[in-house]
Structure 1
Amino acid sequence: MTDPTPHLFWITSRAAGFAALVLASLAVSLGLLMSTKLLKGKTSELRAAHDTLALATIVAIVVHAATLLGDQFLHPSIFDISIPFVSGYKTFWASLGVVAGWGLILLGLSYYARRWVGAVRWRKLHRFTALAWLLGLGHALGEGTDAGQVWFLAMIALVVIPALALLFTRLLRAGRGTGTGVPRPRTGGTRAPAGPPAPAAAQMSNIRPSGPTLTTGVVPISASSPQH
């Protein structure tokens, strides 16, 4: 039997990365369920589960990256696991993981800084969580040791496909919302006939002030032009 001790750091990092992807996918799904309001009356339960999954995702990401420092094969430095495009091993896919990791960590922790960030600004920032998750998915499929294994793809599909479907639903609804706004006011056509002038307007009709053009709110009237 092969002694796993020399590969303990790599095995731990591998398991933590898999856990991070599963947890992040579940957190994204719950967040999208809340935003799309597909499950009405379950907001408090979903929010509690979402927050727990988000924190668990952060822990898994930290373990995934930190344990790589002890791997005897890669021998990565702290800069390799924390700065994009520094690692010499599968640089592109590794960089996707670095960006995704930082994105999920910072956006997840930003929830606790809403008081200073502002609720509206925080909601806009939080939308990038889905992008960070997609980058993490790309990192797992491009660099993951088990990416080509059927069991890995099957297990990931169980949590990724629902999240992708909810994300597509959310984007579709947002597109319809921005595309079907309030109808534009009519600029052409026949105007309604004007009613009789108000008494005050009738009294002021003979007064012709000299000066610049006056704006009535509808048509600019020159002070020197005759009134009809």
Structure 2
Amino acid sequence: MDSSALWYLSRAAGVVALVLFTAVLVLGIATSGRAGSAVLPRAGVLRLHRSISLSALVFLALHIVSAIADGYVELGVVDVFLPFGSAWDPFWVGLGAVAVDLLLAVTITSLLRRHLPVRLWRGVHLAAYAMWPIAVAHGLGSAGGDGVRPWTLAVSGVCVLAVVGALWRWRLRSDRHPDAVRREQGRLRHDLRPAVVPVDPTPVTSTPVVPLGAGRATR
């Protein structure tokens, strides 16, 4: 495979990886918002989120390997993980390295989720919100000008709109925030509990009780 083919392969794999990571982020936001339907229940949303995550990692690896194998620019393995040290386009390549480092942190903690405190896992997992815009900026600023072509701008714009729409739908709206949803579900469960009618301990009689004399009571 010549240098030109590796260049196009790296660019294409990077674009596909961005689209897949956008889908992963949107599904993650939907999962946190307890999204689900009759066609795709919440468990299905979670499984789809994990499956697309694996596919996105494959295309990201293809993007990185083909970029390193391409001898047109000087790019080494260290530059993939060490930000802003690349001999070629250090800033934009460095943003890609930051995104890769954040992704590794999210991936490793997700694999070790059962062995980590929930707060630690959740805190690291929220790094995905920082990783995604950094990856978008990396794609727009690097690639030798390919990032500002009309079709790449269109793809990036659709990805941004998808994430913003998901955030508004499941996170930013006060009535759809997970905390608000949990409070609403708790209120509904409380309202559906059977009502308990207090019982008056005072006996109710239909006729007044008339004391009987001793003789009548005996008879």
TM-score calculated relative to the size of structure 2: 0.71
Deviation at 1:136, TM superposition (A): 0.5
Separation in 2 of the partners of 1:160 and 1:109?
26
* Aligned residue runs from structure 1 range 15-34, under 5 A: 15-34=12-31
Structure-2 residue corresponding to 1:136: 135
* Identity across the alignment (%): 26
Structure-2 residue corresponding to 1:69: 68
Change (3 A) 1:74 1:97: same
Deviation at 1:170, TM superposition (A): 5.2
Structure-1 residue corresponding to 2:160: 160
Check whether the contact 2:75–2:87 (CA below 8 A) recurs between aligned residues. Answer: no
Please give the per-residue CA displacement for 1:56-75, whole angstroms capped at 9, x wherever unaligned. 12222222112222212103
Separation in 2 of the partners of 1:94 and 1:87?
7
Structure-2 residue corresponding to 1:106: 105
Check whether the contact 2:170–2:178 (CA below 8 A) recurs between aligned residues. Answer: no
* Aligned residue runs from structure 1 range 177-188, under 5 A: none
**Amino acid of the structure 1 residue aligned with 2:9:** T
Mark the runs of 5 or more structure 2 residues left unpaired by the alignment.
180-219
TM-score calculated relative to the size of structure 1: 0.68
Please give the per-residue CA displacement for 1:185-228, whole angstroms capped at 9, x wherever unaligned. xxxxxxxxxxxxxxxxxxxxxxxxxxxxxxxxxxxxxxxxxxxx
Deviation at 1:110, TM superposition (A): 2.3
Separation in 1 of the partners of 2:131 and 2:33?
19
Please give the per-residue CA displacement for 1:110-164, whole angstroms capped at 9, x wherever unaligned. 2221111133321222111111111101111111342222122223333331112
**Amino acid of the structure 2 residue aligned with 1:96:** L
Separation in 1 of the partners of 2:139 and 2:77?
20
Moved more, 143-152 or 123-132: 143-152
Q: Which runs of 4+ in 1 moved over 3 A?
A: 38-41, 168-171
Q: Say which structure is richer in helix.
A: 2
Check whether the contact 1:7–1:72 (CA below 8 A) recurs between aligned residues. Answer: no
Is structure 2 residue 10 aligned with structure 1 residue 13?
yes
Mark the runs of 5 or more structure 1 residues left unpaired by the alignment.
179-228
Separation in 1 of the partners of 2:3 and 2:137?
28
SS in structure 2 at match of 1:84: coil
After superposition, the CA RMSD in angstroms is 2.7
Q: How many residues align?
A: 177
Deviation at 1:95, TM superposition (A): 0.8
